[in-house]
């Protein structure tokens, strides 16, 4: 039987509360000291891990100390500097292009709205939502690989399309919880609901999960 919207909202609330109790300290695991550093770290994190990015960024931010340093750098040097994050040529181009626009169009300040953020080279909704939520406290959800997998397992969505998932989840979870929800799901995906080997028996939300195998 198809679950009603009201039932889904109720289930979403229970799941959120249980995960919050389980991972009270869930937060963004990328290291940064400014909005622009978070933007750079987020671009680097695509198809990589936050751990890998955190190994690269201390040296990177020591060498490039401002949006201007990234904007007017030699992109082939930058590419070498971010090599270990993967897709280094593309990421270097994105970081340089985004930094240039930030410096020349926005006076060096990272924009605080979706429309302007997604106009920056290499910045999609995922990166934009990360910046909006972490820096500007705008209710936003980052739909990463854990969110896609777990929200499908929970049968809150039935699609891999990140934008569709984002909008469907917005209708189920309270906006004040969106930023935290992403971090809770990422922690849960790393610790328990692991890709291809979910630990359903040890999962605190198993009674609310239609995919639980116990
Ligand atoms: S019950 Fe299993 S599939 Fe469902 S969220 Fe928990 S670990 Fe993942």
Average pLDDT, the chain: 97
The residue annotated as part of the active site, out of 81, 91, 101, 126, is 126
Q: Which SS3 state, helix, strand or coil, does residue 202 take?
A: helix
**pLDDT at residue number 44:** 98
State which of 187, 205, 208 you would mutate to test the pocket of ligand 1, scoring each by most atoms of that ligand within 8 A of its C-beta: 205
Rounded Cα distance, 46 and 193, in Å: 21
**pLDDT at residue number 214:** 87
Q: How far is the CA of 194 from the centre of ligand 1 (A)?
A: 9
State which of 148, 192, 210 you would mutate to test the pocket of ligand 1, scoring each by most atoms of that ligand within 8 A of its C-beta: 192
Q: How far is the CA of 108 from the centre of ligand 1 (A)?
A: 43
Q: How many CB atoms lie within 10 A of CB 70?
A: 27
**pLDDT at residue number 1:** 76
Contacts of 106 (CB under 8 A, 6+ apart): 116
Q: Is 74 a catalytic residue?
A: no
Decide if 5-27+141-208 and 35-136 have a common fold. Answer: no
Contacts of 175 (CB under 8 A, 6+ apart): 139
Residues in the chain: 214
Q: Is 175 a catalytic residue?
A: no
Which region, left, alpha or beta, applies to residue 93 given φ > 0 means left and ψ of -120 to 50 means alpha? alpha
Contacts of 107 (CB under 8 A, 6+ apart): none
**pLDDT at residue number 35:** 98
Q: What is the maximum span of the chain, computed from C-alpha positions, in angstroms?
A: 58
Q: How far is the CA of 153 from the centre of ligand 1 (A)?
A: 7
Triad 183, 186, 191: Cα angle to 5°: 125
Atom of ligand 1 nearest to the CA of 206: 1
Atom of ligand 1 nearest to the CA of 210: 4
Q: For ligand 1, say whether the CB of 189 is within 6 Å of any of its atoms.
A: no
| Euclidean distance between the first and the last CA atom of the chain, given in angstroms as a whole number | 22
Q: What is the pLDDT of residues 134-176, one digit of tens each?
A: 999 999 999 999 999 999 999 999 999 999 999 999 999 999 9
Q: Where are the domains of the chain?
A: 5-27+141-208, 35-136
CATH number of 5-27+141-208: 1.10.1670.10
Atom of ligand 1 nearest to the CA of 153: 3
Q: How far is the CA of 189 from the centre of ligand 1 (A)?
A: 9
**pLDDT at residue number 2:** 87
Q: How far is the CA of 152 from the centre of ligand 1 (A)?
A: 10
**pLDDT at residue number 95:** 98
Dihedral, CA atoms, 93, 98, 101, 106, nearest 10 degrees?
-160
Alpha helices in the chain (DSSP H): 5-22, 35-45, 50-63, 67-71, 75-81, 88-106, 114-117, 125-136, 145-153, 162-170, 178-191
Fold of the domain built from segment(s) 35-136 = Endonuclease III; domain 1 (1.10.340)
Rounded Cα distance, 126 and 114, in Å: 10
Extract the residue ranges of the chain whose pLDDT is less than 50: none
């Amino acid at each position: 039987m198809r679950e009603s919207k009201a039932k889904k909202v109720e289930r979403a609330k229970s799941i959120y509360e249980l995960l919050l109790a389980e991972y009270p300290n869930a937060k963004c695991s990328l290291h940064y000291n400014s909005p622009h550093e978070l933007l750079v770290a987020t671009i680097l994190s695509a198809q990589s891990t936050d751990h890998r990015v955190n190994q690269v960024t201390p040296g990177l931010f020591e060498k490039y100390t401002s949006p201007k340093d990234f904007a007017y750098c030699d992109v082939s040097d930058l590419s070498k500097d971010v090599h270990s994050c993967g897709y280094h040529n593309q990421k270097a181009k994105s970081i340089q292009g985004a930094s240039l626009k930030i410096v020349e169009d926005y006076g060096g300040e990272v924009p605080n709205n979706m429309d302007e953020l997604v106009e920056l080279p290499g910045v999609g909704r995922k990166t934009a939502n990360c910046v909006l939520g972490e820096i500007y406290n705008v209710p936003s959800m980052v739909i990463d690989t854990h969110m896609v997998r777990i929200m499908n397992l929970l049968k809150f969505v039935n699609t891999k399309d990140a934008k569709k998932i984002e909008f469907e989840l917005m209708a189920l979870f309270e906006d004040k919880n969106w930023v935290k929800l992403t971090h809770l799901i990422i922690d849960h995906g790393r610790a328990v609901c692991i890709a291809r080997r979910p630990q359903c028996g040890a999962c605190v939300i198993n009674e609310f999960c239609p995919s639980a195998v116990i």
